[in-house]
A and B are shown apart, each in its own frame.
Chain A
Amino acid sequence: MKLVARDVVIHHRRQRYGDMLLAVDGATVDIEDGEFISIVGPSGCGKTTLLSALDGLIPITSGTLSLNGRTIVKPGPDRAMVFQQPSLLPWRTVMGNILYGLEIQGVKTADAKARAHRLVDLVGLRGFEESFPLELSGGMQQRVNLARALAVDPEVLLLDEPFAALDSQTRETMQGELLRVWNETRKTAIFITHDIVEAVYLADRVVVFSARPGRVKEIVTIDLGRPRDLRIKRDPRFLAIETRIWESIREEAARDTDALAATA
C-alpha cells in the first residue's frame, strides 16, 4: 500500500469560534501506488480536512496516516497540493510560480528550469511563461497551480477541489487535461470534490464520505477503463455509478439536515 489512513480522527480548530470541532471521525482507506482516488461527500464533511492532514499541514487526533510505511507528521517533498484557489504568487510570472516549490526545496536552478519548461508544455501553457497570474484566466491559473505541484515531482498529488471555482465548460476541459497529465505522470492522486460526475470521471475508486463528522461511507470502484473520453459521461454504465453515488450522498445530506433540525 502506498498511502494508508486507518481510523483517522481529526479535530479542526474553528477560527471564528476558537473551539475544536470533530471533523473526521475514523476514516480508513488504503490507496495503491498510481491510483487515482476521488473523495466526495456533502459539504462540510471533513474531506478537505483529511487532505490537509495528508499533506501534513494539520495534525490528526488519533489513528494512523502513513505514506510508504512512514507516518505523516509534516509536509514533505513526497506530497504536493493543488489548492482550491490558484494561490499563485502575484509578483511572479508563470515560470516563477512553477519554480516556487523547487526553489524552496533547494533544487538547482538549471535542472529546475528544464523541468519547469517540460511542465509548461505538459499543462498547455506554452507562450505564457512570462505572463503574470492576473493576466491569466481562472482555468489557466489552475494549470499553473497544477504544474507547480507537479514540478517538485511528488509521489502523491493532493487535489483540493481545484476546479470548483471554474465555469462548467472550462471545468470539463480541465478534467480532460488533468486525466491526460495524470496519464503521463501516473502519480498517486487524491482528488477532493463535491461534483459526483467529476469524481466518477476521474477516479479509479470513489470514496464516499458521510455527513460530518466524516467517515468513509462506501468505496465505489469505477471499472470504466482508460483512457476515458469526456463522452463517457453519457455512457449508461457511467450514469448508473453516478446515480448510485448520488443516492448515497443524498441520504447523508438528508441525515445532516435532520440532525440540524433536531438540535435547533
Chain B
Amino acid sequence: MATAVTRQVEARPRSVVTTTPLPKQGWIKEHETVVIGATAVIVFFIAWEGIAAARIMSRLFFPGPVDVWQAFGDWYQSGELGIDITTSAQEFLTGYILAAVVAIPLGLIIGWYGRIRAALDPFITFFYATPRIVLLPLLIIWLGIGIESKVAVVFLGAFFAMVINTTAGVRSLDTSLLRVARSFGAKDLTIFRTIALPGSVPFILTGLRLGIGHALVGVVVGEYVAAQHGVGRMMAIAGNTFQSDKVFAGLIIIALAGLILTYILQRLEHHFDAWRPQQLH
C-alpha cells in the first residue's frame, strides 16, 4: 500500500549522468577568455619593448623587457639573487605562518565568546585601521635591522586580516545548525569542533588570502627602510642608483610571489565556495 508511493526519489543517483554532446567548437572559441588575455599580455610586452628600444627615454629611466631580463642575469651573476630571495621568503613565511598560527585560534575564540570580543575589539579595530607599517621604526629600534624586524612587520600585517575574517566566520554560523547540535545533546566543545570550526573554514581562507598582500607589503617596505639582504633592499639600492631595470626585476619577483600565493588560496577558497554563507571582503 504505502510502498506504492515509495522510491519516487526526486533526482537521479550520482552514478547516473546524462550528457548531451555539445556541438563542436573551435579551440579558440572554447578558450576565448584565455586567448584574449594571453594575446593582450603579449601585445603589451611587444609594445613595451618597442617603445623602450626606440630610446625616447634613457635606459636609466625606462628599461625594456630585454633590459630587465639582463638585469636578472646580472643579479644572478653577482650571487645576490639567491640570498635576497631566500631572505625575503624567510621573512615572509616566518611572519605569515606565525600570524596564521596565532590569528586563527584567537579569531575563533573572539568569535565564540562575546565578552572576549568586547575586550579585544577596540585594539583590533585600532590596529586594523592603522597601516601597521608605521610601526616599522619602533620595530627596528626594538629588533634591529636583521630579519626579526621584518618578520614582525609581516606578522602584524597579515595578522589582523586573518583575525577579523576568522571572527566573522564564527559569527556568521547558521544558528539552525547550533540547534541541531544542542538537540543531540552536544556539549559546547563538541559544538565548537563540529560546527564552529568547519563552518568558519571559508572565512579563514579569505583571511589567509587577504593576509598575503599585507604580508608582502611588510617584506618589501620593511627591507626598503633597513635591511642587510632581501628583494626589497635590492630594489631600494637599485632605485637610489638609477638602476631602473633592477627595480623592475625585483618588482617582478614580488608580483609573481603574490600572484602564485593568491592563486593557491583562491583555488582553496573556491573548493569551499559551495557552502559559504556569503562573500566577505
Q: How far is the CA of A83 from the CA of B194 in the complex (A)?
A: 18
Q: How many B residues face the partner with a CB closer than 8 A?
A: 34
Q: Tell me the minimal C-beta distance from A221 to chain B in angstroms.
A: 21
Across the interface, do B14 and A76 meet the contact criterion of CB distance under 8 Å?
A: no
B-side contacts of A90, CB under 8 Å: 274-275
Q: Which chain B positions have C-beta within 8 A of A217?
A: none
**Which chain A residues border B181 with CB–CB below 8 Å?**
104
**Contact indicator A89/B177 (Cβ below 8 Å):** yes
Contact of B184 among A100, A126, A227 (CB under 8 A): A100
B144 to chain A, nearest CB (A): 45
Query: In which size bucket is the chain A interface?
Result: 35 or more
Does B35 sit within 8 A of A, measured CB to CB? no
Question: A170's closest neighbor in chain B, by CB?
Answer: B10
Q: Are B274 and A132 in contact (CB under 8 A)?
A: yes
Segment at the interface with A among B86-94, B195-203, B214-222, B228-236: B195-203
Q: Across the two chains, which residue of chain A brings its CB closest to B187?
A: A104
Most chain B CB within 10 A, of A75, A83, A90, A230, is at: A90
Does B186 have its Cβ within 8 Å of any Cβ on chain A? yes
A243 within 8 Å of B by Cβ? Answer: no
Bound form: Cα–Cα A89–B2 in Å: 30
Q: Contact between A75 and B182 (Cβ–Cβ < 8 Å)?
A: yes
Whether B2 contacts A134 by the Cβ 8 Å rule is no
Q: Does B281 contact A (CB under 8 A)?
A: no
Q: List, in ascending order, chain B residues with CB within 8 A of A230's CB.
A: 5
Q: How far is the CA of A90 from the CA of B180 in the complex (A)?
A: 13
Give B10-22 as 1s and 0s: 1 = Cβ < 8 Å from A's Cβ atoms.
1101110000000
B9 interface contact, C-beta 8 A:
yes
Q: Which chain A residues lie closer than 8 Å to B125 at the CB level?
A: none
The answer to whether A85 and B176 touch across the interface, beta carbons within 8 angstroms, is: yes
Q: Tell me if A115 is interfacial: C-beta within 8 Å of chain B.
A: no
- Interface residue B3 (Cβ < 8 Å from any Cβ of A): yes
Please tell me which stretch of A27-35, A63-71, A177-185 contacts chain B, meaning at least 4 of its Cβ atoms lie within 8 angstroms of it: A177-185
Cβ contacts under 8 Å, B195 to chain A: 89
**6 closest Cβ pairs, A-B complex:** A127-B13, A90-B275, A176-B5, A87-B176, A137-B10, A180-B2
Q: Known pairs A152-B184, A176-B6, A179-B2. 7 more at Cβ < 8 A?
A: A74-B185, A87-B177, A132-B275, A173-B8, A176-B5, A228-B2, A229-B2
B interface vs A, CB < 8 Å? 1-11, 13-15, 174, 176-177, 179-186, 190, 194-195, 198-199, 201, 272, 274-275
